[in-house]
Amino acid sequence: MEGVLRINPKKFHEAFIPSPDGDRDIFIDGVVARNRALNGDLVVVNLLPEEQWKVIKPESNDKETEGAYESDLPEELCGSHLLQQSLKGYNDSPDVIIEAQFDDSDSEDGHGNTQNALIDGVKKLSVCVHEKGKEDAGAPVTKDEDTFMSQDTRALPEKSLQRSAKVVYILEKKHSRAATGFLKLLADKNSELFRKYALFSPSDHRVPRVYVPLKDCPQDFVTRPKDYANTLFICRIVDWREDSNFALGQLAKSLGQAGEIEPETEGILTEYGVDFSDFSSEVLECLPQGLPWTIPPEEFSKRRDLRKDCVFTIDPSTARDLDDALSCKPIADGNFEVGVHIADVSYFVPEGSSLDKVAAERATSVYLVQKVVPMLPRLLCEELCSLNPMTDKLTFSVIWTLTPKGKILSEWFGQTIIRSCTKLSYEHAQSMIEGPTRKIPEKELPPVSPEHTSEEVHRAVLNLHGIAKELRKQRFVDGALRLDQLKLAFTLDHETGLPQGCHIYEYRDSNKLVEEFMLLANMAVARKIHRTFPERALLRRHPPPQTKMLNDLVEFCDQMGLPMDFSSAGALNKSLMETFGDDKYSLARKEVLTNMCSRPMQMALYFCSGVLQDQTQFRHYALNVPLYTHFTSPIRRFADILVHRLLAATLGYRELPDVEPDALQKQADHCNDRRMASKRVQELSTSLFFAILVKESGPLESEAMVMGVLNQAFDVLVLRYGVQKRIYCNALPLRSYRFQKVGKKPELTLVWEPEDVAQEPAQQVVSIFSLVEVVLRAEATALKYSAVLKRPGTEGLLGWQDEQGGDDLEEEQD
């Protein structure tokens, strides 16, 4: 069988591949059985004989049988825009608010995540999530309740065995074979190895330790090893013998001090294979040379001229790469002409050019908390393609006649020229929505071109908002799912770049407005290209949740007495909307359950329609539509450029790209891989900044809700910050603790050591959905922080909603 290898970041001797039938993962035990494959590699495994399968004790409750997932909800599912941020304003405002912009793919995925998701240690649901491997690698681990036995496994019930396998072939090395970590001297000073090699110890324990030649190391490393104890290095694996637990490698470079933003960021980018080098002169030569560039006269004869229309952009206030603009004209019959206008990036990226090749290789822009690694050179991202106000721009448009209820009466696709009349931020659009009759003073709005008025823009925003609300309502009636998870935004210090504060951002009506029209455009383009080129369309599918994990979740909800319906995406959405009230406890419980529901979700994937025979597999589970694609963000996603070329061919603007279905599928696979890497990098960037915030501003207090209970620890969702942490009983001042199951519900009873000898010890019962108070505090090791429970009855904790803020952070979802 083949599959993508996932190594548990908490217990790195355990690895898994998904079962082809959606059942329990297949288990791979130990480094030798992995046969030198690394996390993320596509491998072929051979099942071991049944007597060597993993035996799961009944009471272990499947905790360790589902390996580590890293978070990967499709964006369409989450409604969360990639923390997309631009650095405008970085130099001229004291505190930069980093804003999230939506990646249209987030609503697509409903928001689930599997194959590589935030949830670095998804276990069976009653157990719950682990924190990131990096953070807790050294933390105490509960005793492994699963055992391997040589007894006759045939006598055991089928449920208590987990199929086990060994890797026999690596089909594709997806892991970069690079890691960040620290240098150490070998322990045995008298060995032959000691004279030739140092030991490289990766920060990510899923990567093996590596022997590196001393000649690669700093000159004084052998005599002064302690000077380098906190220096972060990058190492690349060059060889790894079959019979060795250690690999051979080369030191690529010294990054700087561990725990500092730039060295850590460079390490993350390198580990995940992100190309952050400057664009070569060969690539830059593909760009228009005579600046300022103007639209050639022949384009006006080929395109529909919309420059007189009231067209505008809505983006995060700091955004510089403006992909999309909107327009809305009332028609005499009471309907509206609504346009989505997308930057015509493919005009500037000639097929087969050096620019095309580097964009295809990068496949996506990567958004970090403090900066962006762009897919295209800045001249394109921020000037030529960006739909900046009051300049003529080349666009690809979808224009509909829509009723006020959002019913499509007609649809037009074509290449256009627009002149955006203003650049609205989400805050501007939100204030227009919230003050429908208020005349907004000029000083509160950005400049509007003289041909239009701010009242005209305000009316257009209100009309779009009215239609978007109807479109959204209908989407959920038609069975769409959205899993909104808490997302963090940071305020950065202008001088140092360090995080000053953070808040969970709010996803508001202005975000939803943009999201609805981006989804509408993506769905329309998907139908159009698939109808014309049924074998050559680049589409985006979202498979249904993994059966085994979904069944576990169903069982868990039954145990907890939660009336959840998992029969379809729409039924799940309805359950989440209706099961919970809007008091603080209910909202917290909804956050935890949303988090759990995201675990069985799979990644949304680009694919070529001619390669998948079964059209039912084209469906998008979270959006609950038969066809979907990405068209609306070509400045930051290569898939969208490919879709633009296909759409241009369907409309007769150009020949069909000369790409066979198999070659297009290869491009789709590469886009999927890079998108997954970029999502993971974004999560790690957020984790890095949060860990620094805890170190600089901590300890931080928050309410938290228990998500899972183990026999010596429990997992919590920290409600003020949206992070998940494991709290270990042996790290608390307890006299004793006891684990038991009450019915089927796991429970820990904690007996606190009294602070005063005269006091009775306080008892505290911890079970799933308990609200507890936690403190996050930095540890001595760079960038590690832990969560501890506050002793019951201690003062000084604010309610978690008091600081939700989030006005400064937006997402725009396609």
Residues 221, 195: contact at Cβ < 8 Å? no
**Per-residue pLDDT tens for 175-232?**
999 999 999 999 888 888 888 999 999 999 999 999 999 999 999 999 999 999 999 9
The tokens describing 734, both together, are: 């307890």
Predicted confidence at residue 208, as pLDDT, reads 93
- Long-range interactions of 733-736: CB distance < 8 A, separation 24+: 733/791, 735/761
Over its C-alpha atoms, the chain yields an Rg (Å, rounded) of 27
Confidence (pLDDT) at 73: 66
Answer yes or no: is pLDDT of 329 > 60: yes
pLDDT score for 795: 55
More confident call, 808 vs 497? 497
Using CB atoms within 10 Å of the CB of residue 111, give its burial: 0 to 12 exposed, 13 to 18 middle, 19+ buried. Answer: buried
Looking at the predicted structure, is the pLDDT value of residue 313 above 50?
A: yes
Residues 6+ apart with CB under 8 A from 2: 17, 42, 43, 44, 45, 171
Cβ-contact 57, 147 below 8 angstroms:
yes
Q: What is the mean pLDDT of the chain?
A: 85
Beta bridge partners of 728: 713
pLDDT of 798 reads: 38
Task: Answer for the pair 546, 69: CB distance below 8 angstroms, yes or no.
Answer: no
Neighbours of 230 (CB within 10 A): 14
**Mean pLDDT score, 428-443:** 93
pLDDT of residue 114: 32
Confidence band (pLDDT; 50, 70, 90) for 511? very high
Determine if residue 565 is labeled as part of a ligand binding site: no
Asked if residues 693 and 490 have their Cβ atoms less than 8 Å apart, the reply is yes
Nearest 10 degrees: Cα torsion 46, 52, 58, 63:
-50
For residue 661, what pLDDT is reported? 95
- Which of the pair, 132 or 809, is modelled with greater confidence? 132
What integer pLDDT is reported at residue 243 of this predicted model?
82
Q: Which stretches of 221-315 are assigned E, i.e. beta strand?
A: 231-239, 247-257, 304-305, 311-315
pLDDT of 79: 55
From 679, 676, 644, 629, select the one nearest 84 (Cα to Cα): 679
Nearest residue to 418 (alpha-carbon basis) of 344, 315, 331, 336: 344
pLDDT in tens, 60-83: 444 444 544 444 566 777 654 333
* Identity at 202, one-letter amino acid code: P
Identify the pLDDT of residue 505: 83
Q: In this predicted structure, what is the pLDDT of residue 61?
A: 44
> In the structure, what pLDDT confidence band is assigned to residue 149 with cuts at 50, 70 and 90?
very low
Q: What is the mean pLDDT of residues 280-298?
A: 93
- Judge whether 26 and 66 are in contact, CB under 8 Å: no
**pLDDT above 90 coverage of the chain, percent:** 71
Residue 194 φ/ψ, nearest 5 degrees: -55, -35
Cα 229-204-46 angle, rounded to 5 deg: 145
Residue-wise pLDDT for 40-58, tens only, equals 999 999 999 999 999 886 5
The pLDDT of residue 797: 40
Q: Over 80: is that where the pLDDT of 786 sits?
A: yes
Weakest mean pLDDT among 219-223, 288-292, 500-504: 288-292
DSSP of 409-421? EEEEEEEEEEE--
pTM of the shown model:
0.86
Residue 458 pLDDT > 70 = yes
Q: What is the pLDDT of residue 579?
A: 83
pLDDT confidence bin for 680, thresholds 50/70/90: very high
Q: Which domains does the chain have, with CATH numbers?
A: 176-272 (2.40.50.700), 307-544+602-685 (no CATH), 547-599 (no CATH), 699-789 (2.40.50.140)
Whether a cis peptide bond, with omega within 30° of 0, leads into 263 is: no
Could you give phi then psi for residue 57, rounded to 5 degrees? -65, 145
pLDDT, one tens digit per residue, over 372-420 is 999 999 999 999 999 999 999 999 999 999 999 999 999 999 999 999 9
**pLDDT at 601 (0 to 100):** 93
Cβ(167)–Cβ(45) below 8 Å: yes
Confidence band for 159, pLDDT divided at 50, 70 and 90: low
Quote the pLDDT of residue 11: 86
Q: What is the pLDDT of residue 109?
A: 53
In the numeric block, which tokens belong to residue 509?
């009506």
The Cβ of residue 138 has, within 10 Å, a number of other Cβ atoms equal to: 10
- What's 443's DSSP letter? G
Kindly indicate the confidence band of residue 315, based on its pLDDT and cuts at 50, 70 and 90: very high
Confidence of residue 433 (pLDDT cuts 50, 70, 90): very high
Amino acid 759: pLDDT: 84
Q: Tell me the pLDDT tens digit for each residue of 708-735.
A: 999 999 999 999 999 999 999 999 999 9
Give the mean pLDDT of 624-652: 97
Q: How confident is the model at residue 358 (pLDDT cuts 50, 70, 90)?
A: very high
Here the tokens at position 770 are: 């308990």
pLDDT for residue 643 is more than 90: yes
The tokens for 676 are 């997954």
Is 510 a residue whose pLDDT tops 50? Answer: yes
CA distances from 732 to 34, 349, 626, 788 (A): 36, 58, 52, 7
- Confidence tier at 620 by pLDDT (50, 70, 90): very high
Q: CA 141, CA 793: separation in Å to the nearest integer?
A: 28
324 labeled binding residue: yes
**Which pLDDT score is estimated for 110?**
53
Q: Do residues 384 and 348 lie in contact, with contact meaning Cβ atoms separated by under 8 Å?
A: yes
Confidence class for position 233, pLDDT limits 50, 70, 90: very high
Residue 325 has pLDDT above 90, yes or no: yes
Angle of CA points 234, 235, 239, to nearest 5° = 165
Given pLDDT bands bounded at 50, 70 and 90, which one contains residue 793? Answer: confident
Q: What is the mean pLDDT of residues 303-317?
A: 96
Q: Which of 292, 304, 293, 309 minimizes the C-alpha distance to 421? A: 309
- Contact in structure between 775 and 701 (CB atoms under 8 Å): yes
User: Quick one: pLDDT at residue 805?
Assistant: 30
With contact defined as beta carbons under 8 Å apart, do 102 and 812 qualify? yes
d(CA 549, CA 300): 55
- Tell me the CA end-to-end span of the chain in Å, nearest whole number: 36
For 3-44, the pLDDT digits (tens) are 999 999 888 899 999 988 878 899 999 999 999 999 999 999
Mean pLDDT of 273-282: 96
Indicate left, alpha or beta for 317 from its phi (over 0: left) and psi (-120 to 50: alpha): alpha
